Chains A and B, each alone.
Chain A
Amino acid sequence: MALDLSTSLGPVTLPNPVMTASGCAANGKELARFFDVDRLGAFVTKTVMAQPRSGRGTPRMAETPSGMLNSIGLQGPGIAAFCAGDLPMLKDLGARVLVSIAGGTSTEFADVAAHLRESAAFDCVVGVEVNISCPNVANRGQVFACDPLSSAKVVALVREQLPRDTPVIAKLSPDVTDIVSIAQSCVKAGATGLTMINTLLGVVIDTETLRPALYAVTGGLSGPAIRPVAVRAVWQVAAAMREGRLPTVPIIGVGGVRTGRDALELVAAGAAAVQVGTATFNDPTAPVRVLEELAALVAGKGFTRFTDVVGVAHDRT
């Protein structure tokens, strides 16, 4: 029997559950040389802020065991240029776009969302991912997503700026004591979904020079090395939803997905969609390859609807 891969992001239904991850796919034209980006459930753009940003100095990257540390510093064109160039280009490619936004203040988040809403290409936007958890910001690690009140304020202000039927998805950091409390706060403030996880804060020392390997000293750790942390975060929040400790909203799992098998872990732990990030650096076709592998695995286990696998591991403990 044919497998129904469609999945729901609340008000929006996607044809399949696999996406790029923000900051790992640029804004579409580079990967379009390797596959048709409309094959993905959604294309997640690199986080855009209000103003153009140069990003940080170099080195910005250090390879780590089964992963990498990065400190790009949210380099980007700013929301005006994004709306004038990147978003219409993605629309032309037929992409369903999940736009990742950020701000240095909660007001900046709201301003970026307001600008986005006015974009002529807004009809290709299937949601807004609110990046409250990028570690590469000035206050190193003390991101919005470390504090329930700051998280809620950002989410509420962004929510106000967007149409009711536009999903607002908060991207959370694993570098917190209790991710469930942050998730509760975001959903209460109007988040219609959660993306878990952003990178973990790390440092690599260059043992030849005995200096920090990255220009900015700290960076975000990503790649297969962090996958169990992502599965744990998705598991904990999905379990809390099942226990009624917070309303049930779609979870997008991200962290260390390299294969369909890896994606299935996040799905079984409770993710209704999965993003492929660092693996794209290793294999530019990774997002569509993961989609194919995931579909084959799910079908091979006898499921006819992808959504039946979401969170299934909670019933098998």
Chain B
Amino acid sequence: MSPVAQVRAAELIATRRAGAYHHVTFVAPGIAESARPGQFVAVAVGGPTSANLLRRAFSIHKVTPSGTYGGTVDLVISAKGAGTQWLTALRAHDTTDIVGPLGRPFPLPAEAAPCVLVGGGYGSAPLFWLAAALKERGCQAHLVLGAATESRLFGVVDARRAGDSVHVTTDDGTAGTKGTVAAVLPAVFRETGAVVAYACGPMGMLRSVTEISAAHGAVAQVAVEEAMACGVGVCMTCVIPVTGNDGLTRMVRSCAEGPVFRGDRIRWDAFDGGRCTVPEDAVGAQAMRSH
């Protein structure tokens, strides 16, 4: 398994609002240096006697390996629960425990190729860093950002800097094209000839990106946002059904085998209303029926 660091007292050096989200920067040497786009960190919340024991997983927005303070890691947080509210209430010089980098990064194309990068809500957080990595390889990076409403978009300004083109969609039409990312993706594929799509966001969006990519002959690499207890591969809570090279479907850990999967390998048929049922043909599903 890849090396991982635990920074027990990662110091917060900046926190600012970004629409509906918070953008925070921690000093996290050992994580910043080895992280790659698509990887995530698992952050402890509430301090050493916290009643909220489970780590919160965040996709890394960007890293600065050799900043003034040592390596720093930037995260984008939606303060929707007790843990994220604690994190976003931290002030400069407060610390928390951060583990990372975790998971498999977005695989980059071996040769220069046009790519489309799709972010749903704050799922766009890792895409600008990814765009820079793609452009270093001579790839075009076309960004599509979608959200329910304008305040829930993240990084539109960054996108204009990082992307070869940018499309914005909102469900309510407060910014960009009214509708979901599916409203603009077919045209983006046609205009750019993209052969790879990268996506991060809610499951429904990832499925949609996968299907539209397939229809345009492109491969989708999607980063899932499953709930995790540990982030490091030991709790077995963040599993999703994924079909392997051998054609067999297994319940695999998003934190260890993911969070980036080929979209066409995920068993989308198993997901419904925030739940995932183990497909009947999954390895080991038979044994669950007897006891």
Interface residues of A (CB under 8 A from B): 23-26, 29-31, 33-34, 46, 49-61, 63, 65-68, 70, 72-73, 75-76, 78, 104-105, 137-139, 209, 215, 223-224, 278-285
Measured in the bound complex, the distance between the Cα atoms of B4 and A165 in whole Å is: 39
Chain A contacts for B54, CB-based, 8 A: 61, 63, 68, 281-282
**B240 touching A58, Cβ below 8 Å:** yes
Residue contacts A-B, CB under 8 angstroms, 23 given: A24-B235, A30-B232, A31-B232, A33-B4, A34-B4, A51-B287, A53-B288, A54-B287, A55-B288, A58-B276, A68-B53, A72-B235, A78-B287, A137-B291, A223-B53, A224-B53, A278-B53, A280-B230, A281-B55, A281-B235, A282-B44, A282-B53, A283-B44
> Do residues A59 and B53 form an inter-chain contact, with CB atoms below 8 A?
no
Q: Which of B50, B239, B283, B287 has the most CB of A within 10 A?
A: B287
B157 lies within 8 A of chain A by Cβ:
no
Given contacts A54-B278, A282-B55, contact A61 B237 (CB under 8 A): yes
> Across the interface, which residues of B come within 8 angstroms of A139, CB to CB?
291
Contact A58 B239 (CB under 8 A): yes
- Cβ–Cβ contact A72 & B287, under 8 A: no
How many residues of chain B are within 8 Å of chain A by beta carbon?
44
The answer to whether A66 and B284 have CB atoms under 8 Å apart is no
B interface with A by C-beta (< 8 Å): 1, 3-4, 6, 44, 50-55, 97, 99, 226-227, 229-230, 232-240, 250-251, 256, 270, 274-278, 282-288, 290-291
Bound CA–CA A53/B234 (angstroms): 16
Asked if residues B284 and A58 are in contact (CB atoms below 8 Å), the reply is no
CA A263 – CA B56 in complex, angstroms?
26
Residues of A within 8 Å of B256, CB to CB, are: 30
Is the CB–CB distance between A65 and B236 below 8 Å? no
Query: A31, A75, A138, A284: which contacts B236 (Cβ < 8 A)?
Result: A75
Report the separation of the CA atoms of residues A78 and B52 in the bound assembly, to the nearest whole angstrom. Answer: 33
A63 x B233 contact (CB < 8 A): no
Question: Measured between C-beta atoms, what is the minimum distance from B24 to chain A in Å?
Answer: 20
Closest 4 CB pairs of A and B: A104-B291, A54-B284, A61-B237, A30-B233
Residues of A within 8 A of B235 (CB): 24, 61, 70, 72, 281
A81, chain B: closest CB distance, angstroms: 10
- Chain A-chain B contacts (Cβ-Cβ < 8 Å), number: 138
Collect the chain A residues with CB atoms within 8 Å of residue B274's CB. Answer: 59, 209
Q: Which one of B1, B4, B99, B290 contacts A104 once the chains associate, using CB atoms below 8 Å?
A: B290
By secondary structure, the B interface counts as: loop
Q: Which residues of chain B come closer than 8 Å to A50, judged between CB atoms?
A: 287
CB closest chain-A residue, reference B251: A54
CA distance A76 to B227 in the complex (A): 20
What CA separation (Å) do A279 and B1 show in the bound complex?
A: 22
- Cα distance, A33 to B102, chains bound together (Å): 11
**A57–B226 alpha-carbon span in the complex (Å):** 13
Q: Which residues of A contact B232 (CB under 8 A)?
A: 30-31, 33-34, 284
In angstroms, how far is the closest chain B Cβ from the Cβ of A99? Answer: 17
- Across the two chains, which residue of chain B brings its CB closest to A28? B234
CA A23 to CA B4, docked complex, whole Å:
21
Provide the bound-state CA to CA distance between A161 and B242, in Å.
37
Chain A residues, Cβ within 8 Å of B250: 54
Distance (whole angstroms) from the CB of A294 to the closest CB of chain B: 16
Q: Contact: A284 with B230, CB < 8 Å?
A: yes
B276 contacts which chain A residues (CB < 8 A)? Answer: 57-58, 215
